[in-house]
Amino acid sequence: MLDTPKGLRIHIGLFGRRNAGKSSLANALTNQHISIVSDVPGTTTDPVEKACELAPIGPVVFIDTAGVDDVGELGAARVERSKTVLEWVDVALIIASAAGLEADDRDLVATARRLGTAAVLVLNKAGVTPPSEAVLAEVKALGIPVVVTDARDRTGIDALREAIIRLVEDDTEPDRPLAGDLAHADDTAVLVTPIDSGAPKGRLILPQVQAIRELLDAHAKVVVVQQDRVAEAIAELKRPPAFVMTDSQAIDDVVRQTPESIPLTTFSLQMAYAKSDLIALAEGTAALARLKDGDRVLICETCSHHPQKDDIGRLKIPRWLREKTGRKLEIEVAVGKDFPDDLRPYAVLIQCGGCVVTRRHMLMRLRRAKAQDVPMTNYGLAICYLRGHLERVLSCHPEALAAYRAALAK
């Protein structure tokens, strides 16, 4: 459980005013000292993450955020960071005083409901001032679960934990399978995993490991090869594989070795299916065909890995973009969980697979792009388009292929 990557964990955020007791509740829920607790308002300045296990849910991440009533220029930046976290967590714990709600508390509840974020309102410090009948009547009318707690003496912590479990079970949407939907018991899948400078020493990258595990869970057979052994692997099978899945960067070699009759996809394309909205991203890929001189393109990475000498986001995709389009493009890179508020200057966004973040995080980015009418695609879709193989790999997802064709025809 403790080795489960953060991108596959349920993310639970704690939000509220300064000194509402968010850090104390985080410590009580995890039974660990993950956040500094103080009577001084504003002790937590940046989101603090702690990965742990919450039975019976399993692996989760608790995120303790700065107070939404922080002041000053730096405080305003902290507030914006907290509100950004509210956009992509799976569950929000909105911590308020049992003495009564403030405007900030009501705003958090309204925002969570608008975003569709599963939320519970926690009336904390009830040992100091128990909630009055008027307060209980007001919070009941908000339409979200309410729990009364006092983190210092652990009153109500078990009830809060049970409320979180119910929200996760009833109101959160799990990731779609990365590869499990493509195979059935007794099928064989061929996975192409190049070992290049970007491959971690002694290990495979997360999407490759995840695909292998899902296929084994489906009781399928898995053949894992490098890109120069694809044709050989297929020829040695008694019957054709159900599909071939490859790293996008090896797509040229794999297409040459894979008969048209065998479905072909990529790890990154399947990440778009599992973590985001493949149909919307396929539609956004058509924007690459309309790029003009001077257009700005944003490469979006959710992790902050050390750039490689042949880095896919910083070097290969920009090079292939310029080769394919013949245009003079301004290509920028946004790294980590920071994502520009104003996306309108960009002609298209090219998002990484998002293996280190949650599905809600990826959907948040797509939602922002749609709201500003900026097309978004992802690494795998963009690479396959730039190398001339997009329709081939989208054949595994007919609705996405139709969306791409329709957008290309506009």
Q: How far is 8 from 175, CA to CA, in rounded Å? A: 8
Looking at 31-45, 110-124, 350-364, which range is the least confident one? Answer: 31-45
| Model pTM score | 0.85
SS (H, E, C) 104-132: HHHHHHHHHHHHCCEEEEEEECCCCCCCC
Mean pLDDT confidence for 356-366: 91
pLDDT category at 180 given cuts 50, 70, 90 is confident
Q: Which helix (H) or strand (E) holds 269?
A: helix 267-275
pLDDT for residue 50: 85
Q: Is the dihedral of CA 169, 175, 176, 177 positive or negative?
A: negative
Residue 40: left (phi > 0), alpha (psi -120 to 50), or beta?
Answer: beta
Asked if 70 and 76 count as a contact pair (C-beta separation under 8 A), the reply is yes
Mean pLDDT confidence for 130-145: 94
